[in-house]
Amino acid sequence: MVPAPGEPARGSRSGRPIMVLLDLLGRRMALRILWELKEAGRPLTFRALAAAAETNPSVLNARLKELRAAGLVAHGAEGYRLGADGLALVALVLPLHQWAEDWAARRPAAGGEPA
């Protein structure tokens, strides 16, 4: 089930939109699917998306259902693509991605040395 703003979400009973979004994005493979669709720059078939995201059909099907219900992913004759809201979300996440890459480079690696 996909929570909607105003409804309780994992980790929050408030139903605040940010909490609902974080619940959705925190689900297994959700961000990876969005990322692979962004990287492809074109619609992907179910099989191509499963291969790109390195996930199984069951998980992919569940996430696509949720992401489509949320309006982040669209499906057409050519396959799956980011919807308008998905494109806007990815554009907002890209600076966070860059920050995380820079942050990771400053952190010690698992062996105790900087990455």
CA distance 19 to 23: 6
Whether residue 45 contacts residue 34, with contact meaning beta carbons closer than 8 Å, is answered with no
What does the pLDDT read at residue 113? 61
The confidence score (pLDDT) of residue 112 equals 63
- Closest-CA residue to 55 (of 41, 70, 74, 35): 35
* pLDDT at position 6: 63
11 Cβ contact list (under 8 Å, min separation 6): 19, 22, 23
Please give the pLDDT value at position 1: 72
Helix axes 30-40, 17-25, angle to 10 degrees: 80
Look at residue 13 in the predicted model and tell me its pLDDT: 73
Q: What is the mean pLDDT of residues 56-83?
A: 97
**8-29 pLDDT, tens digit each:** 677 667 778 888 888 899 999 9
- Supply the pTM of this predicted model: 0.83
Residue spans of the domains in the chain: they are: 17-106
What number does CATH give the domain 17-106?
1.10.10.10
- Cross-strand pairs, 80: 44, 75
The predicted pLDDT at position 85 comes to: 96
